[in-house]
Amino acid sequence: MSEDAAIKKAILRNSKLTAPKLGDVLEITSRQVERIIASLKKKAGLKSRGVRKNGEWYFEGAESV
């Protein structure tokens, strides 16, 4: 599974994960996670809602899991 797909799957499971937590789960750096998130924002419609500390991720047009 690619890192993009792994992050997408992790976000769908828990929309409140932070970049450092995603990095820990996937054993990659938080900077790598941030790059992948930026890519997913462009390619897959990844958005965030709420405030920075208590916000969550969602994919535009995707149903909640």
Q: What is the pTM of this model?
A: 0.81
Give the DSSP letter of residue 65.
Answer: -
Asked if residues 56 and 47 have their Cβ atoms less than 8 Å apart, the reply is no
d(CA 13, CA 42): 21
23-40 confidence digits (pLDDT tens): 999 999 989 999 999 999
User: Is the pLDDT assigned to residue 61 strictly greater than 90?
Assistant: no
User: CA Rg, the chain, in Å?
Assistant: 11
Read off the pLDDT of each residue in 52-60 and give the average, rounded to a whole number: 89
| Tens-place pLDDT, residues 37-55 | 999 999 999 999 998 788 9
d(CA 19, CA 61): 22
Judge whether residue 65 has pLDDT over 50. no
Q: Does domain 3-59 have CATH number 1.10.600.10?
A: no
